[in-house]
Structure 1
Amino acid sequence: MELDSARENPPPESFFLPGGRSSAALGEAFSQILHRLTRQEARRGNGRDAVFQDLSALIEATECGRLFELSGAPIHGMSEMLGEVAKALGTYAAPPTEESVRSDGHSGVSEKAAEVGLLFLKLLRKVETAKNSLACPAWKTGLHHLAGPVYIFAITHSLEQPWTSPRSQNVAGEVLSLLLRVSDCGSVAGFLHGENGDGKGRFTVIMGLLKPDLNKESWKNNPATKHVFSWTLQQVTRPWLNQHLERILPPSLLISDDYQTENKILGIRCLHHIVLNVPAADLLQYNRAQVLYHAIFNHLYTPEHHLIQAVLLCLLDLFPILEKAVQWKGDMARPTTQCDEVLQLILTHMEPEHRLLLRRTYARNLPAFVKRLGILTVRHLKRLERVIIGYLEVYDGPEEEARLKILETLKLLIQHTWPRVSCRLVVLLKALLKLICDVARDPNLTPEPVKTALLEEATDCLILLDHSSQGRVMGLLATIPQSCEDGTVVNCIREVQQASEGADYHGTKPCVT
């Protein structure tokens, strides 16, 4: 009964015989197949096989000229019909909603995708044949309607996802390659924004097809939509992206505002791409940059290290844009910026943080904030001092990423704020000496290259401290080589001594030579 129901109105056999199709009959055949594709019965085994077989036979049996240029039938009408069939095939192969996944998983999706991909390959080969024959100019109209749905299908199933398999990925990859070839595009980016300055990119068409599935009510109905949107967005860069800002900004904000960490990270990466590839003037217009900042800033309260990493990278690239809108008069104190606000919150979170992955994430990004603020880092000096000392005391695993980044931060801090560091000399000196002793006495835990890097960075910090304090460090360390029995510690002190002996303390800024 299922097969009979799905083949309620099958095309007559004459459709599949040469010369057996009138223009109206051919259009009616595609219309019937489209109707069967959208029936619920066609989603099941026998019905699906039947409709695929009929569509495959119809494509193979129809000459290119008849497929794209029908006598007595509007060209646009047939092309639009092919586009609707392509959309229906893409919907066929779409992964299930989140609710369906919980009950049935992604069973059968990759098999359907492979079958649909083979049909798309046949359609695109027809386009290619018509293109090469030079006798059917209407292939361009056909490709115009096919390109968007075929592209979305190809990206949905060519990326590694829970609903794909090696076979479906290979077929989808072939579909994408053939689509680019018939479109005369050397890359996906060229396909989207247009190549050779022709301005005929298909990014607008793709976004138009995705738009109904990218609103607040529907964007989770198809789990592939967010990935297609994100991947497609990141293929388009300057100077083409800014003209699409109104289409891409709302979905990116929507995805980033989800409760799932995976979606938050995906949305933040979309926003980061926009920040990097849209001119500052466009982002400052209508207060868009401030909207971006507040949407991203709120994620700093989430204790997920992958999310924090994505957020901080995005904010660091957003700060220069935000600061363009800040007017500073030389006779007044510099106003605090969003960079100050973020650094203050990061340091607040860093002090009590005990989770290693979060500690490493914060420490990894701290040097960039000191570089960004420069001398203005003095506003945060007290809290930075506490964080630096606290993090230098804690072993961070074999790679010691957090302590290495904290030492890098300390070096930058001394270089940028050295006039204010001398009053903290004793506290910082004790922390550095303790670190050197701990590393020197560590027999097994830390690999030798990491130990060497820690000792070199700590020694550089001592040299900078000595220079910024006009040689006071060397005076405090002068008696250590005579009383210390640890050769590693003595070697570090001697390096500082050698640097101190050749230093010129009449300069204005300490540096490591």
Structure 2
Amino acid sequence: MEREGSPRSPPREGSSPPGEGPASDLGQALSQILHRLTGPESRRGRARNAALQDLGALLEATECDRLFAGSDTPLGGAPGTLGEVTAALEKHAAPRKEEEGGGDGCSAVAEKAAAVGLLFTKLLRRVESAKESPGCLAGKRGLRHLAGPIYVFAITHSLQQPWTRPGSRDVAREVLTLLLRVTECGSVAGFLRGEHEGEKGRFPEIMGLLQPDLNKESWKNNPATKHVFSWTLQQVTRPWLNQHLERILPPSLLISDDYQIENKVLGVHCLHHIVLNVPAADLLQYNRAQVLYHALFNHLYTPEHHLIQAVLLCLLDLFPVLEKGLHWKGGAARPTTHCDEVLQLILTHMEPEHRILLRRTYARNLPAFVKRLGILTVRHLKRLERVILGYLEVYDGPEEEARLKILETLKLLMQYTWPRVSCRLVVLLKALLKLICDVARDSSLTPEPVKGALLEEATDCLLLLDRCSQGQVKGLLAKIPQSCEDSKVVECVRKVQLVSEGAPYSGT
């Protein structure tokens, strides 16, 4: 009887040593290793380690032409069984749900990954040798059973994750490099979509392997699956991605709909990639774009700045798709758009918001919404005015990102809605002058370049305000140089007066 843990024990009692018997013996040896990796005894560490050792010995002892012989048969022969063993090894090295957060369990996963990675390296080198031999067709055919699971393994363990360690990452990256070389692909993107015209690529195969772990009941059992899916998805771009839309959209929506912020952000990044790389016609078909919009819009109620940032960027790229069929024919008022709806909600959240990271996130994206709506921003003018005035009053830390973006928003707003600006002259002028005085007298840790940028942006706003009010700002500022003792404030006012009189100003 075979002794458990023997590194080179024969696969079955009475059978020939690995690599020396007939082809059927090779299949039997691989089948027994597969059983030991997937059967009840696979839970015992010694039995599992013995199976890995036996597989390593089998790969070393078997000639290349015999290892991949029979790959053209309906069941794939020994290479088909070897593919099943490869898939079992990938599952063996994958992290489990309880090992997502780190700790001793993750160290064990990294050790298993390093051991499996060495076996995959050995196997790929055998494929490489088979391809270099005169009858290399067997090696190429055998590779089709191996490439998918090996790719999933390599991506699972090469990314920076809690279950990886420097050693396991190095082994996984070596496996990926060798896989690309054996498959004659110059990059991961070429491996997935096909390097040459008419070549199918392996993206459908990889999605097929990930699909069982990407449904509602199972997608959290393996914490690596979502990362492998996301990373793989983002390697495939136009014009290859749209043909796989039915496979990639449901998992992306599923991940984005989770209660964990990390998963929400990951799912939104996947959706954003889809929006950028799938033609608008395909997104509009079957109401997909509306489904995307409602999924993203609901995330705007979650007060988490990373998520809000990802959602707003995705929505800004989705708006052209949603509004593709909208054409204003004149006569009646223009219909409100999805961009109007989102901006209204953003402004509602911005007014009372006191958390600095969320304030910066909202302010960072506000100029893009004003640009998107253009003159139609006038619909939101009152609320925008309240937000701008409120945000200009609050110090935003050394970077002053929020106030700089709000000044950029104000400039765009005056450019697009200038006929409505003159009636707000006094309110806006007071806010800008107060900001200039506060920055000029600021003795905090704000760097001088940041203060200079704030003063320059505020001066630009004063110039635009002067033009929108037919020169009234110049008259209202006339007495400030005689009464103000702050040189920075006086310098800003004089710039406005000089430019109003026709002198050039490089800041505008």
TM-score (norm 1): 0.95
Cα distance between partner residues in 2 of 1:410 and 1:327: 28
8 Å Cα contact 1:6/1:51 also seen in 2: no
Cα distance between partner residues in 2 of 1:72 and 1:353: 65
Aligned partner letter, 2:363: A
Cα distance between partner residues in 2 of 1:414 and 1:13: 89
User: Post-superposition shift, 1:79?
Assistant: 2.4
2:447 maps to 447
Provide the identity percentage: 76
User: Post-superposition shift, 1:325?
Assistant: 2.6
8 Å Cα contact 1:388/1:410 also seen in 2: yes
Output the aligned Cα RMSD. Answer: 2.3
Structural mapping, 1:41-190, within 5 Å = 41-70=41-70, 76-98=76-98, 105-190=105-190
Cα distance between partner residues in 2 of 1:359 and 1:479: 36
8 Å Cα contact 1:68/1:75 also seen in 2: no
Cα distance between partner residues in 2 of 1:484 and 1:140: 82
Cα distance between partner residues in 2 of 1:313 and 1:93: 36
Cα distance between partner residues in 2 of 1:148 and 1:15: 31
2:493 maps to 493
Cα distance between partner residues in 2 of 1:236 and 1:491: 53
User: Post-superposition shift, 1:5?
Assistant: 8.7
2:376 maps to 376
Aligned partner letter, 1:10: P
Range with bigger deviation, 179-188 or 69-78: 69-78
Structural mapping, 1:271-282, within 5 Å = 271-282=271-282
Number of equivalences: 506
Cα distance between partner residues in 2 of 1:115 and 1:56: 10
1:10 maps to 11
Change (3 A) 1:306 1:3: farther
Residues 428-473 of structure 1, C-alpha deviations (whole Å, 9 max, x = no match):
0000000000001112331101000000000000000001111011
8 Å Cα contact 1:9/1:32 also seen in 2: no
User: Post-superposition shift, 1:73?
Assistant: 7.4
Cα distance between partner residues in 1 of 2:193 and 2:362: 37
Structural mapping, 1:255-274, within 5 Å = 255-274=255-274
1:507 maps to none
SS at match of 1:108: helix
User: Post-superposition shift, 1:414?
Assistant: 0.6
Aligned partner letter, 1:152: V
Change (3 A) 1:55 1:473: same
User: Post-superposition shift, 1:39?
Assistant: 2.8
8 Å Cα contact 2:257/2:264 also seen in 1: yes
Tell me whether 1:284 sits opposite 2:284 in the alignment. yes
Residues 345-386 of structure 1, C-alpha deviations (whole Å, 9 max, x = no match):
000000000000000000000000000000000000000000
Range with bigger deviation, 342-351 or 317-326: 317-326
8 Å Cα contact 2:71/2:138 also seen in 1: no
1:397 maps to 397
1:248 maps to 248
Residues 111-146 of structure 1, C-alpha deviations (whole Å, 9 max, x = no match):
000000010011111111111113241212211110
Cα distance between partner residues in 2 of 1:236 and 1:48: 36
Cα distance between partner residues in 2 of 1:421 and 1:210: 56
SS at match of 1:324: coil
Aligned partner letter, 2:151: Y
Aligned partner letter, 1:293: Y
Cα distance between partner residues in 2 of 1:188 and 1:72: 26
Which blocks of at least 5 consecutive residues in structure 1 are unaligned?
Answer: 505-510
